[in-house]
């Protein structure tokens, strides 16, 4: 996967939770697009319109939930809350900015509200699962796969769980962990 993202800052540049969240939001968006490309090349039907929109939202919510867990390991409570809040808002903005590409016609603000509602609902569910120094537990990844499964046509529902858990999640999380390590621990 050839995604380039800035994970280091020049000396003197601000490293606020909002700035860090902006970097992670761009990464999450790129990772979701790459995942769609891989899945489409594997003959999953993720068509432009509602299926594409739902996939982007589920994938970026999964990455935002993962980033929050990594932040829990590496940041203080106040920084973590600021980071995760800024990340969810930035991703909602990105979904809103791309609503015409994703959905065609949509009411202004509707796509951002949908994303934030989904993020908040999924936060409760993802909270039931573990995410340690070695990454997410089986339940965390399984829940992600089940969420992706909901938006796919019947012919793809059987195989998406394996694809999401064995290929998409590990690929994306490897880059997310590496990027956040550089952002949260620039001295290393």
Mean pLDDT by 10 residues, the chain (188 residues): 53 79 95 94 87 92 98 94 97 89 75 95 97 94 95 88 94 94 80
Question: Residue 177 class from Cβ within 10 Å (0-12 exposed, 13-18 middle, 19+ buried)?
Answer: middle
Q: Round to whole Å and give the CA distance between 148 and 183.
A: 28
Spatial distance between the Cα atoms of 78 and 53, rounded to a whole number of angstroms: 32
How far apart are the C-alpha atoms of 121 and 62, rounded to whole Å?
12
Q: What is the pLDDT of residue 172?
A: 96
Write down the pLDDT at residue 13. 66
Our separate counts of H helices and E strands in the chain read: 8, 2
- Residues 126 and 131: their CA atoms lie apart, in Å, by 10
Return the pLDDT at 75.
92
What is residue 136's three-state secondary structure?
Answer: strand
């Amino acid at each position: 996967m050839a995604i380039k993202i800035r994970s280091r800052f020049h000396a003197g540049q601000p490293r606020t939770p909002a700035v860090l969240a902006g970097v992670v939001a761009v990464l999450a968006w790129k990772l979701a697009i790459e995942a769609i490309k891989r899945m489409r090349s594997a003959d999953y039907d993720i068509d432009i319109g509602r299926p594409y929109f739902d996939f982007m939202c589920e994938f970026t919510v999964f990455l935002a939930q993962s980033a929050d867990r990594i932040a829990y390991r590496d940041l203080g409570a106040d920084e973590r809350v600021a980071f995760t809040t800024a990340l969810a808002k930035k991703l909602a903005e990105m979904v809103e900015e791309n609503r015409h590409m994703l959905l065609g016609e949509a009411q202004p603000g509707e796509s951002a509200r949908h994303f934030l509602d989904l993020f908040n609902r999924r936060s409760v569910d993802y909270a039931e699962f573990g995410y340690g120094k070695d990454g997410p537990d089986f339940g965390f990844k399984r829940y992600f796969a089940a969420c992706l499964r909901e938006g796919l046509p019947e012919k793809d529902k059987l195989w998406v769980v394996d694809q999401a858990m064995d290929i998409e999640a590990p690929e994306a999380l490897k880059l997310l962990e590496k990027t956040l390590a550089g952002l949260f621990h620039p001295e290393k």
